[in-house]
Amino acid sequence: MIELLEEVRERAKRALNKPSKYGPDVDISQFSPPPERPYTLDLIRANAHLLASVGIDVTEANRSGSYYQLDQEAVQISVKSKGLTVMSLKQALKEGIIDDYYWKAVPVDLDKYTAVAELMGNHQGYVFIVEKGVKVEKPVQSCLLMSTPGAIQAPHNIVVVEEGAELHVITGCTTMMEKAGLHAGVSEFYVKKGGKLTYTMIHAWDEETHVRPRTGVIVEEGGEYISHYINMTPTASLQTNPRVRLVGEGARAYLSSIVVSKENSLMDVGSTVYLEAPETSAEIVSKTITKDFAEVVTRGTIVAMAPDTKGHIECDGLMLSSTSRILTVPELDARHSDVTLSHEAAVGKLEEEQIFYLMSRGFTEEEATSILVRGFMDVKLEGLPEELKRQIEVAIAMAAAGL
């Protein structure tokens, strides 16, 4: 393991100045790891209302386990379900149980942000492993909270769903400060034969934070990966493009995103799926709303590399101001003749006729606008428990009312 750590560390050093392919570049030298200091769960509990907005239940009543990280320190780890392992990356490395997964789905030298995670992340982050055939009924949650101005938070997370197992992971990320910081989290997901992973990530940053998540997913035969990404708050800049590889026959992926961008936010949000085995399929659905001077690029790429594969991309954008911008970039790459790929992309504004119609029914203009925005943001949230669906619906309603 020592040799592996030394090898990836050297690769990371060589990539420390390597810019991302997409999104605005960020000078990482202006950020630094936060000082080590003791944290307690009391600080987490004191922010229960804030964490609830990103799907985190501090009571853990409907959770199978939890991982809380404040800045670069793991504050609390718990597990309540048999067949589920919950631990920190540092502990997993020490025990040698993730040697086969460490930096295998995401290259450590992909760009400067993956390099930061290895060099400055203090080997923190969560590791969730579900044993073969175990179907974990309640979601496991991870809370990544930033509290130090000008700091880097760079967790490295690994999730392994063994053969025939099922797991739902809820990750909530937010900040308690209003000074510039950098979140550069890396997540690697491995879904074995016949396994199923549902992953829900909810972000609530502030207008000074730069966010650079990096995600890689490998799905084996008959496996299923469902992902939901939700961000309804302004941030200085956000760039993410998870890469999903369907390497086993009959594997499936569904990725949805709901992004609200306002003020001066710059966001570049996308998903890429590789159909590498026969009878694999993928669907990418994105809903984007811009206001004020915000700019958003939405990307969706499906690469069909094997026969009898199917993929569909749907990108919808709604502009609520003439000074904002939306750029949709759907890409279909067919590398075999026996594939079916399609895409739909649309960008527009609220129709005045619809607003006038609702106003004629007794709604105010603000209420009518909110109703139409909520309808636009409606997406198929597969695999979510009802309580989380309701929570997301409330968050969407609040965001719509605030627009």
Q: Give residue 378's pLDDT.
A: 83
Separation of alpha carbons 336 and 325, rounded Å: 35
Q: Is the dihedral of CA 28, 34, 39, 44 positive or negative?
A: negative
Percentage of residues in the chain having pLDDT higher than 90: 76
| pLDDT tens figures, 240-289 | 999 999 999 999 999 999 999 999 999 999 999 999 999 999 999 999 99
pLDDT of 177 above 80: no
Confidence of residue 8 (pLDDT cuts 50, 70, 90): very high
- Angle made by CA atoms 388, 358, 367, in degrees to the nearest 5: 50
Q: Give residue 53's pLDDT.
A: 86
Domain boundaries, the chain: 2-353, 354-403
| pLDDT tens figures, 310-338 | 999 999 999 999 999 999 999 999 999 99
Least confident segment among 19-23, 97-101, 135-139, 375-379 = 375-379
| pLDDT tens figures, 52-90 | 889 999 999 999 999 999 999 999 999 999 999 999 999
* CB 233 within 8 Å of CB 204: yes
Q: Give residue 392's pLDDT.
A: 79
| pLDDT tens figures, 81-103 | 999 999 999 999 999 999 999 99
> Is the model more confident about 263 or about 361?
263
pLDDT of 168 above 80: yes
Sequence-distant (6+) residues with CB within 8 A of 353 are: none
Q: Give residue 361's pLDDT.
A: 85
pLDDT of 348 above 80: yes
pLDDT of 401 above 80: no
Residue 189, strand partner residues: 159, 217
What does the mean pLDDT of the chain come to?
93
> Is the model more confident about 354 or about 193?
193
3-state class (DSSP) for residue 378:
coil
Residue 144, strand partner residues: 69, 173
Least confident segment among 61-65, 68-72, 197-201, 368-372 = 368-372
